[in-house]
Amino acid sequence: MTISDLAIRRPVFATVLSLMLVIVGLMALLRLSIREYPDVSRPIVGVSVFYRGANAAVIETRVTQVLEDEIAGIEGVEKVTSSSRDEFARINVEFSIDRDLDAAANDVRERIARVSGRLPQEADAPQIAKVDDSAEPIIYANFSSSARNALELTEYIRHFVVDRFSSLPGVASLRVGGENRYAMRVWLDREALAARQLTVNDVENALRRENVELPAGRIESRQREFTLRTRTSLESEDDFRNLVIGRTPDGYLVRLGDIAEVRLAAEDQRTIARAQGLPGLSVGVVPTSKANVLDVSKAVHEELAELKRSLPKDISAEISLDFTVFVSESMRKVLTVLGETMLIVLVVIMLFLGTLRATLIPAVTIPVSLFAAGIVMVLLGYSINTLTLLGAVLAIGLVVDDAIVVLENIARRIEEGEPALLAALEGSREIGFAVIATTLVLIAVFVPISYMGGTLGRLFGEFGMTVAAAVGFSALVALTLTPMMCSKLFVKGIRRRPLAERIDVHFKNATASFETVLRAAMQGRRPLQITLGAAAITVLLVSLLVFGQPVPWLKLQQEFAPTEDRAMMPVLVSAPEGASLANLDKYITQVEQVMLDEVKAGNGRRVIVRTGGFGAVGEVNTGTVYMPMTLWDERKENSQQIAQRVRMRTANITGVRIIVITPPSLAVRGLGKPLQVVIGGADYGELARWRDKVIERIQRENPRILGLDSDYQERKPQLQVRIDRNRAAELGVSLQNVGRTLETMLGSRIVTTFMRGGEEYNVVLQARGENRATVDDLGNLYVRSDRTGTMVPLSALVKVEEVAGATALKRFDRLRSITLSANLAPGYALGDALSYVEGVIRAEIPEGVQIAYDGESRELKQQGSRLWLTFAFALLIVYLVLAAQFESFVHPLVILATVPLALSGALIGLWLFNASINVYSQIGGIMLIGIACKNGILIVEFANQLRDRGVEYVEAVIRAAVVRLRPVLMTSLCTAFGAVPLMIAAGAGAESRQAIGAAVFFGTLLSLGLTLFVVPSLYALLARNTTSPHHVSDLIARLTSSRSPS
């Protein structure tokens, strides 16, 4: 007894089974988190080392290189990048995406412990931390005040706003920009220090030693108990001024107020935040890795609305940036497409079957299969995202196919006069093998997508498994619920409406014409010769399509993912190296005005400025101007067109680097430029010369590569302090004391903290402004000799010269490196740009120089090859699955001949839509393997059944093609027209949906048109001497019966 027999005999069981799938699947879907893409965060471990007094070159040689050489041998390391700066080294170790982050961090700690003895003794111990590269704010709230200054506003936000946002569910952390916090500022007087024979170290040590709070035990009595606390911490300006630092040689106490100006004031401002030109504070909300970003965004909106009711009248608040707008709009569009696809599929079924009852049967399959797929999603830890929803859209045209095939076979038997119950029983048995075969083939196509590895495997793994699960459940529904419903709904036969009857008449005429043409081709006066001739022509046609595919391929552009209009335009602004925050703001204000003009024109909603956190450690010369755009249907131009106009207008702003960014799609991290090529070698000077040659030629030859620049710039003004080591040794002055004195007096140092109003604030030590205004002031600082105790001026130990040097020395995979990066003109694909740049590099740079890629360029290079390996793997798996099912190595070749036809159609569709070869269109190509094979399976499987009944092989394949014409047309048209809403999509994420929609639509239609002739012809040519899968079983049965006594 088959599962279909059980469902027909026990209709309540079949109904309950489907209802249980819907209920459990719905419960599973409600548990899934919502995000834009699957979690593709790579395991990254960061290593930081501080080495006081060392310049970047020393850091790079004695610290960075030593650590990198040891780290590189750890299992699973994919990329090691580093940046060496004055006094600081940072190494990022990126592991393969399936590596456990905790285990990777432990391996890094173990390796670093091995070489810690080889690091300079003066260097701090390396700090190792796990890096969450996806921990970025998804929404910003901006606060401004008409009455409070930055300090007062910061205090209010810190006390009354930050905690409320931090306590929201799904919030991991907050990032506050533009704040200006209070600090106890201690401005040291150089001359007062020298007169009292005190040094910077004396002041630091006193502040750390005296600013403590110590427990002193407790006093107990019969009735009460007191805890004793020794109050030694410093809390007010007077407390700090009266702090005793030391004694003069004649015994007088020296207090901090004698040698410094002490005042509660602002820390040095390192960030700026503005919205619509008004200064303020921005609070960025970072969600947890498993949070539903839409829920977090909604919670922030609701909390801010509630907060506004209690804010003072002078403080205004608004949501300035919300990156989830694209996510929500994209999902809304996909859900709309989902509904449109369901409607189109049902219309196609209605046109062919002509009755609402018949249409209802495959329609039920859609919700059951899609809801049931949620069970697999929750078991595998997936999320609801744009890719799983895209899989659901494409699955609609596939999940109805099995039900259509079963329904059509049963309906044909009923129209031939069989009772509904018997037709359901025999029809489902007859078609059951084909349903299982097509389902296994589709699953065999989609499952390998989940095992591609790397970022692409993690991204599209959820897509592939979602579709595979839906298709698997659709087969179960087709073999249980569909025959049961046919046996109940068609008891009185199939009654079509008049319009449907006319359509059916035309279809029968078309079927007769098709049969006539097919018979003429395969059963002429000389059947064998005509059959062989038709087959030869078919083989020739397939060969032309296979070998002709490179022609449209060469005309199509290649890129990792389509450039999407994400309704967001960030503009990165980099002032000259060494520029102050005020100098940067001068340039940012000009860019801000350009963006405000776009807002006035209706292309943007607001303009937000953020500086700090985008540049190097401690640097204030970089910032970003954001413009959230108006929604897609509210503007006439797309983001690329607007970005190009902004580039042209900001090109007139000289003295600064301005990069107008088109945010990357498909979970490519950061706001980096799409084109990133790394050249690596042994010497930065040589690399810089080769870089200049490459940049000069590209700028001369290719205007479509925009904003070409490198990350190695020898332009930062530096005062290079050379310490006379011999002289320092003679005078008994340690190099560490020299370095710390320079750092504190000329820069600033946070030496301790103090409490004020229940909050902790920094104590910042720095020289007075007039003591650090010129180069000569360096020599007038004093340090103490460790040997004699006398004061030694730095002028006796150091020489100062002004030079221009690189801010940072970068390394990439253990080589000194320079990264070339650029934006691309609209319509210029990344694959074409990389091919051009590679050609220039080969012509201009010696062969020994290493070439690598980063960012989106790296993804394109790595993942593109993986997709084609996955395509080949999917073909092999499908072939083996078909061979096992048909018990033949020949039948699968007949079926797989349809694949080149489908791929040719996909390439033609991409060419017609001016689309590119990207991961979406390639995934569509992989899908077409299963879609194209499905039609061939229906014909070949029924031809084998007819041959088992004694029908000659040519007649069998002709009958099979004619009988299966209607289900082949119905399933193919459902799949093709189900992709139409994707192909003509608009709004958020439309570019990606269009690519896969065009590939599936045109690939399916061309495959359909040619399959009906290709498969019969190839079957007649190749399958003449083959047998059905049941041949051996039937032979054994005959042999057994012949030996039985008569």
Condensed to tens digits (0 to 9), the pLDDT of residues 416-452 reads 778 888 888 888 888 887 788 778 888 887 777 777 6
Question: Percent of the chain having pLDDT more than 70?
Answer: 85
Mean pLDDT on 687-712: 86
pLDDT attached to residue 912:
82
Domain co-membership, 122 together with 210 = no
pLDDT attached to residue 550:
52
**How far is 884 from 1029, CA to CA, in rounded Å?**
9
Mean pLDDT on 745-754: 76
Spell out where 401-529 has E strands. none
Domain co-membership, 316 together with 341 = no
pLDDT in tens, 462-489: 888 888 888 888 888 888 888 888 888 8
Spatial neighbors of 967 by CB under 8 A, at least 6 apart, are 404, 405, 408, 409, 938
DSSP-derived secondary structure for 298-334: HHHHHHHHHHHTTS-TTEEEEEEEETHHHHHHHHHHH
Paired strand residues for 316: 144
* CATH code (residue 1003): 1.20.1640.10
Tally Cβ neighbours within 10 Å of residue 346. Answer: 19
- Give the residue among 295, 291, 32 at the shortest CA–CA distance from 136: 291
Indicate whether 52 pLDDT > 60: yes
Bridge-based pairing state of the strands 253-255 and 244-247: antiparallel
pLDDT attached to residue 614:
39
**Would you place residue 24 in the very low, low, confident or very high pLDDT band (cuts 50, 70, 90)?**
very high
Task: Give yes or no for a contact between 121 and 67, defined as CB atoms under 8 angstroms apart.
Answer: no
**pTM score of the predicted model:** 0.74
* CATH code (residue 66): 3.30.70.1430
Bridge-based pairing state of the strands 127-131 and 225-230: unpaired
Q: Does 207 map to a domain? A: yes
What sign does the dihedral 1014-1020-1026-1027 (CA atoms) show?
positive
Q: Does 765 map to a domain? A: yes
Domain co-membership, 914 together with 961 = yes
Question: Percent of the chain having pLDDT more than 90?
Answer: 1
Structure letter (DSSP) for residue 630? P
Mean pLDDT on 875-884: 83
Domain's final residue, options 492, 511, 531: 492
Indicate whether 671 pLDDT > 70: no
Angle at 50 between CA 44 and CA 56, to 5 degrees: 95
Residue type, 488: K
Residue type, 491: V
Paired strand residues for 317: 143
Sheet holding 278-279, edge to edge: 278-279, 273-275, 608-611, 622-628, 568-574, 657-660
Q: Does 874 map to a domain? A: no
* CATH code (residue 205): 3.30.2090.10
Mean pLDDT on 938-947: 80
pLDDT attached to residue 778:
67
Q: Does 710 map to a domain? A: no
Mean pLDDT on 173-186: 84
Domain co-membership, 153 together with 261 = no
Q: Does 614 map to a domain? A: yes
DSSP-derived secondary structure for 579-621: --HHHHHHHHHHHHHHHHHHHHTTSBS--EEEESSSSSTT--S
- Give the residue among 36, 90, 124 at the shortest CA–CA distance from 459: 36
Burial class from Cβ neighbours inside 10 Å (0-12, 13-18, 19+) for residue 18 reads buried
**How far is 322 from 139, CA to CA, in rounded Å?**
4
Token digits for 162? Answer: 């930050």
Q: What is the 3-state secondary structure (H, E, C) of 122-175?
A: CCCCCEEEEECCCCCCCEEEEEEECCCCHHHHHHHHHHHCHHHHHCCCCEEEEE
**CA torsion, points 466, 471, 477, 478, in degrees to nearest 10?**
170
**Would you place residue 616 in the very low, low, confident or very high pLDDT band (cuts 50, 70, 90)?**
very low
Mean pLDDT on 720-735: 76
- Give the residue among 517, 549, 548 at the shortest CA–CA distance from 530: 517
CA 864 to chain centre: 16
Tokens 């094979």, residue? 933
Scored b (16 or more CB within 10 A) or e, 96-106 reads: ebebebeebbe
What are the CA-CA distances from residue 293 to residues 140, 387, 590, 628, 966 (Å)? 13, 16, 34, 18, 46
**How far is 1043 from 1040, CA to CA, in rounded Å?**
5
Task: Give yes or no for a contact between 176 and 280, defined as CB atoms under 8 angstroms apart.
Answer: no
Indicate whether 367 pLDDT > 80: yes
Bridge-based pairing state of the strands 260-266 and 182-188: antiparallel
* CATH code (residue 315): 3.30.70.1320
Task: Give yes or no for a contact between 405 and 435, defined as CB atoms under 8 angstroms apart.
Answer: yes
Indicate whether 537 pLDDT > 60: no
Residue 986, helix vs strand vs coil = coil
Domain co-membership, 262 together with 281 = no
Spatial neighbors of 856 by CB under 8 A, at least 6 apart, are 560, 561, 664, 668, 672, 674, 675, 676, 830
Structural domain span for residue 91: 44-131
Q: For the packed helices 454-489 and 11-31, what is the interaxial angle rounded to 10 degrees?
A: 150
Mean pLDDT on 950-959: 81
- Give the residue among 409, 434, 438 at the shortest CA–CA distance from 424: 409
Token digits for 190? Answer: 């150089």
How many domains does the chain contain in total? 6
Indicate whether 6 pLDDT > 60: yes
Scored b (16 or more CB within 10 A) or e, 118-140 reads: ebeeebeebebeebbebeebbbb
Indicate whether 613 pLDDT > 50: no
Tally Cβ neighbours within 10 Å of residue 994. Answer: 22
As a whole number of Å, the end-to-end CA separation of the chain is: 29
**How far is 837 from 19, CA to CA, in rounded Å?**
58
Domain co-membership, 575 together with 655 = yes
**How far is 557 from 797, CA to CA, in rounded Å?**
62
pLDDT in tens, 813-846: 888 888 888 888 877 878 788 888 888 888 888 8
Tokens 């229906």, residue? 938
Structure letter (DSSP) for residue 43? P
Domain co-membership, 348 together with 239 = no
**Would you place residue 985 in the very low, low, confident or very high pLDDT band (cuts 50, 70, 90)?**
confident
DSSP-derived secondary structure for 698-738: HHHH-TTEEEEEES--TTEEEEEEEE-HHHHHHHT--HHHH
Token digits for 709? Answer: 């620049």
Domain co-membership, 995 together with 953 = yes
Domain co-membership, 177 together with 203 = no
**Would you place residue 402 in the very low, low, confident or very high pLDDT band (cuts 50, 70, 90)?**
confident
**Would you place residue 301 in the very low, low, confident or very high pLDDT band (cuts 50, 70, 90)?**
very high
Residue type, 708: L
Domain co-membership, 391 together with 462 = yes
DSSP-derived secondary structure for 485-538: HHHHHTTT-----HHHHHHHHHHHHHHHHHHHHHHHHHSSSSHHHHHHHHHHHH
Which H/E stretch holds residue 760?
A: strand 759-767
**Would you place residue 875 in the very low, low, confident or very high pLDDT band (cuts 50, 70, 90)?**
confident
**How far is 223 from 215, CA to CA, in rounded Å?**
22
Token digits for 816? Answer: 């000194």
Task: Give yes or no for a contact between 151 and 268, defined as CB atoms under 8 angstroms apart.
Answer: no
Domain co-membership, 349 together with 426 = yes
Residue type, 422: L
Domain co-membership, 70 together with 150 = no
Domain's final residue, options 91, 108, 131: 131
Q: Does 558 map to a domain? A: no
Angle at 300 between CA 298 and CA 304, to 5 degrees: 120
Count of positions (residues) in the chain: 1046
- Give the residue among 810, 711, 669 at the shortest CA–CA distance from 44: 669
CA 517 to chain centre: 51
Indicate whether 864 pLDDT > 70: no
Domain's final residue, options 628, 662, 696: 662
Mean pLDDT on 770-792: 73
Which H/E stretch holds residue 431?
A: helix 420-446
CA 27 to chain centre: 28
Q: Does 415 map to a domain? A: yes
pLDDT attached to residue 791:
81
Phi and psi (nearest 5°) for 488?
-95, -40
pLDDT in tens, 248-288: 777 788 888 888 888 888 777 677 778 777 788 888 888 88
**How far is 1029 from 1033, CA to CA, in rounded Å?**
8
Mean pLDDT of the chain, nearest integer = 80
**How far is 55 from 84, CA to CA, in rounded Å?**
9
pLDDT attached to residue 440:
84
Q: Does 843 map to a domain? A: no
Mean pLDDT on 990-1006: 83
Task: Give yes or no for a contact between 382 and 470, defined as CB atoms under 8 angstroms apart.
Answer: no
Indicate whether 214 pLDDT > 80: no
**How far is 672 from 81, CA to CA, in rounded Å?**
15
